[in-house]
Amino acid sequence: MRKDNYAILRIAAMVSMVAVLFLAVTATTAAAASLQVESAVICEQVVDREPVDVGNSFSATVGKLYFFTKIVGAEGNTQVTHVWFFGDTERARVTLSVRASNWRTYSSKRIQAHETGAWRAEILDAEGNTLATARFEVE
């Protein structure tokens, strides 16, 4: 009889863990479902949470660039991912938290002097869907 009770308790605990995990995934999906990108720009600096020296063409000696994004419409805590591409090659992937319905965030990428050509940065939602793309050149 004790073995049967133990087995039932283990099954109940596993069902509870699956239910909690399902609710967490559902909450994250709901929070991400309404995300919109109000702004997605490449810039040379971020000062006081605002992009500075925004552009689509930068000198090869720039050193570092930022992908600044303003997210609106989140219905709870979620995440976005910034993915940096040089040509078609992924060069960096940065996951960032979104903790309010109006949220500004950014990632940065060091640019080597020899990395001239077409670049792009994409912002993905928690499910991996592309929300916006910023294209730029390094010359």
Contact (Cβ atoms closer than 8 angstroms) between residue 66 and residue 96: no
User: Where in 57-88 does DSSP place strands (E)?
Assistant: 57-58, 64-72, 78-86
**In one letter, which amino acid is 91?**
R
Q: What is the pTM of this model?
A: 0.77
Angle of CA points 85, 103, 44, to nearest 5°: 45
Residue 82's pLDDT is 98
Q: Name residues whose C-beta falls within 8 Å of residue 37's C-beta, 6 or more positions apart in sequence.
A: 69, 70, 71, 72, 123, 131, 132
Written out in words, the top-level CATH class of the domain with range 2-138 is: mainly beta
Task: Give the residue extent of every domain in the chain.
Answer: 2-138
Contact (Cβ atoms closer than 8 angstroms) between residue 32 and residue 125: yes
Residue 2's pLDDT is 61
Strand partners, 102: 72
Residue (of 70, 42, 40) closest to 55 by Cα position: 42
For residue range 12-45, list pLDDT tens digits in order. Answer: 555 544 443 343 333 344 445 689 999 999 999 9
For residue range 45-104, list pLDDT tens digits in order. Answer: 999 999 999 999 999 999 999 999 999 999 989 999 999 999 999 999 999 999 999 999
As a whole number of angstroms, the distance between CA 138 and CA 115 comes to: 7
Q: What is the mean pLDDT of residues 106-123?
A: 98
